[in-house]
Amino acid sequence: PFILSIAGGGSTYTPGIVKSLMVRLEDFPLAEIRLYDIDEARQNTIAPVVEKVIRDHSQSIKFTVTSDAQTAFRGAHFVFAQMRVGQYKMREQDEKIPLRHGVVGQETCGPGGLAYGLRTILPMVELIDLVERYADKKAWIVNYSNPAAIVAEGVRRLRPNARVLNICDMPVAAMRNMGAILGADRHKLEVDYFGLNHFGWFTKVRVDGEDRLPELREHVARFGLLTEDAAQTDPQHSDPSWVKTWRNIKPIMDHFPDFLPNPYLQYYLMPNDIVAHQNADYTRANEVMDGREKKLFAAAAEYQRTGILPDAYHVGVHGAFIVDVACSLAFDLRQRHLVIVENKGAIANLPYDAMVEVPAYITSEGPEPVRMGAVPLFHQTLLMQQLASEQLLVEATIEGSYEKALQAFTLNRTVPTMQHAKAILDEMIEANRDYWPAL
């Protein structure tokens, strides 16, 4: 049985991930779960909920809650990482500062994502070093930490040999919705997909070997990437703002009816529409703080008071996916999953060393990407521009370079002019004083 550490243990996602682990104990046996967080108070609030989730399924799994890295990682076989540097208060800034300049305010797309990247790359590398110091030499870090594309590139640059697999639940969430639309279990879908994280396209959606993409495209052009009545099987992406996000890819389908875009492409291809409908005073960070966060903290308090735990955490693809990936790593299952990997020719006309998102077979020695071939000029060009923006941001972080940060902001498609880029960057430097390296 494995020792598993969750870095970012105080996250509101932790109970859902642990629930997913509990229903898969036969596939992924556990001796111990350790929660690790640098925010001790927050983690201590969440921990009793997590312990209850464990005890409902197992009396024998040891449960440890710590802020000490050695205690957290000593001898660990797996680390699930989900850090949020600066927490939701800084997400709010990532979203609101660009909006004040008429630019998309989003946690991973546009200037917000770049700012979040500048906060996260170095702490992520610190975490990797701690894990390498204390954990089992064969330990895998499965990393959900955002902004995943930039974090993956930063890790490749700074710790190229680390046993880190960067993942995102957006493709699998899209596949959950596709399954609902097609009336097929999402596990039966086999997709082809190319791009960067939060920036890519599905090119094939096979069910029992038959490509159902044409049918899916017709549906999406009418209703968005949702069932007709917007019903979903997973509460994680069901808030009204998420329903809007799934629906919003309809216009992209109208203009470019090729492939099936990751919904996040709406921020890059129609930023004007997005900004026009965003409330600059109340963004997604506010919704999450007032919604998901409050709900779980209230449930934790009620559980402490009454011993009864209200159902206040998400169990869905987010938790299920990271457990699937861990199983495949642990037992060399070679399952096919969409993950973030070094390109190495998988997308023929993108750089060999780019961190791309493609299907890969997950072996015990890591992902083996599947060749997606060459992509059309239009998509290649969009991808190259986004890649350059993200790579310059990583270099800005490593070198402490203002100039490269400005270039990264300027090259991002969400940012209309260099003046916008500079004004937003300068405000962000102020807001991130406690987090960014000096530029």
Residues serving a catalytic function are: 169, 264
Q: How many residues bind Mn ion (CB under 5 A)?
A: 2
* Shorter beta-carbon distance to ligand G6P: residue 65 or 174: 174
Stretch that binds Mn ion, among 31-39, 161-169, 171-179, 222-230 (CB under 5 A): 161-169
* Shorter beta-carbon distance to ligand G6P: residue 34 or 198: 198
Q: Which does 427 bind (CB under 5 to 8 A by kind): ligand G6P, Mn ion, none?
A: none
Q: Which helix (H) or strand (E) holds 309?
A: none
Selection from 381, 174, 181, 187 nearest residue 264 by Cα = 174
Q: How far is the CB of 290 from ligand G6P (least distance, A)?
A: 12
Task: Give 364's DSSP letter.
Answer: T
The strand pair at 210-211 and 199-207 is best described as antiparallel
Q: Which helix (H) or strand (E) holds 427?
A: helix 418-431
CA distances from 286 to 45, 88, 226 (A): 20, 8, 24
Beta bridge partners of 35: 6, 65
Residue nearest to ligand G6P (CB): 170
Q: Is 170 in the site for Mn ion (CB under 5 A)?
A: yes
Q: How far is the CB of 147 from ligand G6P (least distance, A)?
A: 8
Token couple for 323: 């457990």
* Shorter beta-carbon distance to Mn ion: residue 148 or 309: 148
Q: Which does 177 bind (CB under 5 to 8 A by kind): ligand G6P, Mn ion, none?
A: none
Q: Which does 79 bind (CB under 5 to 8 A by kind): ligand G6P, Mn ion, none?
A: none
Q: Do residues 7 and 127 lie in contact, with contact meaning Cβ atoms separated by under 8 Å?
A: yes
* Shorter beta-carbon distance to ligand G6P: residue 66 or 278: 278
Give one DSSP letter per residue of 139-194, joined into a string: -EEEE--SSHHHHHHHHHHH-TT--EEE--SHHHHHHHHHHHHHTS-GGGEEEEEE
Selection from 194, 162, 182 nearest residue 340 by Cα = 194
Q: Is residue 386 left, alpha or beta, with left meaning phi > 0 and alpha meaning psi from -120 to 50?
A: alpha
Interface with Mn ion (CB under 5 A), residue from 168, 329, 372, 406: 168
Q: Which does 265 bind (CB under 5 to 8 A by kind): ligand G6P, Mn ion, none?
A: none
* Shorter beta-carbon distance to Mn ion: residue 65 or 85: 85
Q: How far is the CB of 291 from ligand G6P (least distance, A)?
A: 9
* Shorter beta-carbon distance to ligand G6P: residue 169 or 395: 169
Residue nearest to Mn ion (CB): 168
Q: How far is the CB of 121 from ligand G6P (least distance, A)?
A: 16
Q: How far is the CB of 44 from ligand G6P (least distance, A)?
A: 22
Q: Which does 99 bind (CB under 5 to 8 A by kind): ligand G6P, Mn ion, none?
A: none
Q: How far is the CB of 215 from Mn ion (least distance, A)?
A: 26
C-alpha–C-alpha distance, residues 3 and 329, integer Å: 14
Q: Do residues 285 and 91 lie in contact, with contact meaning Cβ atoms separated by under 8 Å?
A: yes
- Applying CB under 6 A, the residues found at the interface with ligand G6P are 108, 146, 168-170, 173, 284, 288
The strand pair at 140-143 and 164-166 is best described as parallel
Stretch that binds Mn ion, among 35-43, 125-133, 166-174, 262-270 (CB under 5 A): 166-174
The SS3 assignment for 5 reads strand
Could you say which residues in the range 175-194 bind Mn ion, by CB under 5 A? none
C-alpha–C-alpha distance, residues 381 and 372, integer Å: 16
Stretch that binds Mn ion, among 169-177, 277-285, 351-359, 427-435 (CB under 5 A): 169-177
